[in-house]
Amino acid sequence: MDVLGRMVDECVVWDNVTYVSVMGLCGQIRDLRLGLQVHAQLLKGGLMFDVFVGSMLVDMYGKCGNILNARKVFDALQNRNVVVWTSLMTAYLQNGDFEETL
Residues 6+ apart with CB under 8 A from 4: 22, 25
pLDDT digits (tens, 9 = 90+) for 4-33: 778 777 888 888 899 999 999 999 999 999
Domain ranges of the chain: 2-101
Report CA-CA distances (Å) from 17 to 13, 23, 41, 57. 11, 10, 14, 13
Residues 6+ apart with CB under 8 A from 12: 18
Question: Is residue 101 predicted with pLDDT exceeding 90?
Answer: no
Give the DSSP H or E segment for 82.
helix 82-94
Residue 1: pLDDT band by 50, 70, 90 thresholds?
A: low
- Express each pLDDT in 50-97 by its tens digit: 899 999 999 999 999 999 999 999 999 998 999 999 999 999 999 998
